[in-house]
Amino acid sequence: MNITRENVDALNAVVKVAIAKEDYSAKVEKILIDYRKTANIPGFRKGQVPMGMVKKQYGKAVLVDEVNKLLQDALNKYLTEEKLDVLGQPLPKLQDTINWDADTLSFEFELGLAPQFEVNLKAKKPITHYHIIADEKMINEQIERIQKQSGKLISQTVVEKDSEITGTFKNEEKEIENKVTLTLDKFKGKATEKQFLGAKVGDVITLKTKGLYDDEHELMHALKVEHDDIHGLDIEVNFTIAEINTRELADLDQDLFDKLFGKDVVKSVTELKDKIKEDAEKQFTQQADQKFLNDVTEYLVENTKFDLPAEFLQKWMRTAGEQPLDSDQAKEEYEKSEKSLRYQLIEGKLITDNNIQVTMDDIRDHSREMIKAQMAQFGQMNPSDKELDDIAARILSNQEEARRISEQLISQKLLALYKEKANLKVKELSYENFVKEVYGDK
């Protein structure tokens, strides 16, 4: 067997594979002998079929199958030994006819080669890394929510601004009938609030669904309507009031602290505020890190310049999926996936250049920490090492789950790299201002 490569340009190559008859003939002969032993052909006893007949009936199919296996193995070995970084898979060049009786069979494959490039993390304009803080306003609002949730319900005769109103949304045409408890602060407009204020048990309030809530998902849950049906829903619904209550705020005492956090974990309002601030800012860190990761990704894709073997990739996409694509469909698919492909290449380059690795021990340790955190939520604070190891082993026996955890760890290590080497500026602000700045004032 002989394999040669011709580089068309920096991103495309053609590999030629020449297979001699001696490379496959012995294997083909052995398979045909085995076929002869089991062949069931009328007029002949099993094992007594003439070899010529076996070759005539099965020879071509066996030959083609063995040559294809040889080609696949040879190509994989060649790409590994030559350390060729290819995109997609090798594409066989079409041949009009193949003379399977020839002493040498020749095949050609097109390759799309990954580009060579450098990655510069130092943006001219610094990338913002937000440090989101839980300010006094947020902490106090959270304390009030805790007091309300743990407080005692007191019945009211009329709806007031802070009432909890239980009732049923109904629309016969759309077959909507759903009982909910709501508060007036969730509605989008002041006009809706005015419709409720002063209302009594038994009153029916007619509401338009369009613009009722800021977030249509709130409306989806209120009406118990399917996700696909809620967007753009513009109908009238009747809300019949069944119950009106207010909540007496729970006292900020040791009983409440123990109920929320466990015995003596929090012992004062000051410690409660510190705990709320700590827990909130842990969550904010994850959100800020994700925003930073997204921004760095965007920067790298936009500013790391290299060409791709676009024509080859589109040709490969035509046959790579479950359903074949025509040239226009393949072009559209390529354009949709190009940005993602570029970042995969950039990420791979950063992982290689910075020797980022995830070992099985890393994956196992991360799994143990996830399990401990989940068990703590259910009050199991001190699981044994054996428990953790057994559960981790079960989780990691699922290859898909192990791969997911590995990708999480790679992402964490890349985030640490970006924080260390990227040109960034830290901006401290409240969560409310973070939402306004990043997502707009909604």
Calculate ∠ Cα 279-284-290, nearest 5°.
Answer: 140
pTM for the model? 0.73
Distance CA 28, CA 22 (A): 10
The phi and psi torsions of 155 (rounded to 5 degrees) equal -70, 145
Closest CA to 88 of 393, 383, 319: 319
Which pair of structure tokens corresponds to residue 251?
A: 């006292």
Q: Residues in the chain with pLDDT < 50? A: 442
pLDDT at residue number 188: 87
**CB 292 within 8 Å of CB 424:** yes
> For position 371, what pLDDT does the model report?
92
What are the structure tokens assigned to 12, written together?
């495309």
d(CA 34, CA 49): 12
> Exposed e or buried b for every residue in 61-95, given b needs 16+ CB within 10 A?
ebbeebbeebbeebbeebbeeeeeebbbebbeeee
- Paired residues of 169 in beta bridges: 178, 239
Helix (H, G, I), strand (E, B) or coil at 97: coil
What is the rounded distance in angstroms from the CA atom of residue 392 to the CA atom of residue 385? 10
Q: Which pair of structure tokens corresponds to residue 287?
A: 């959100």
Structure tokens given for 52: 């010529």
pLDDT given at position 159: 95
Q: Which structural domains are found in the chain, ordered by start?
A: 2-113 (3.30.70.1050), 152-248 (3.10.50), 269-439 (1.10.3120)
pLDDT digits (tens, 9 = 90+) for 122-157: 888 999 999 999 999 999 999 998 998 898 999 999
Q: What is the pLDDT of residue 37?
A: 84
Neighbours of 141 (CB within 10 A): 12
Contacts of residue 102, defined as CB under 8 A and 6 or more positions apart, other chains included, come to 21
CA max distance for the chain: 100
Q: What's residue 307's pLDDT? A: 96
Residue 442 has a pLDDT of 47
DSSP β-bridge partners for residue 92: 109
CA distance 131 to 429: 6
Per-residue confidence (pLDDT) for residue 441, from 0 to 100: 55
Q: What is the pLDDT of residues 182-222, one digit of tens each?
A: 999 889 888 999 999 999 999 999 999 988 988 788 899 99
Q: Whole-angstrom Cα distance, residue 350 to residue 304? A: 12
Question: Torsion-angle region of residue 43: left (phi > 0), alpha (psi -120 to 50) or beta?
Answer: left
Task: Find all residues with CB under 8 Å of 28, minimum gap 6, and list them.
Answer: 59, 62, 63, 66
Give the count of beta carbons closer than 10 Å to the beta carbon of residue 414: 18
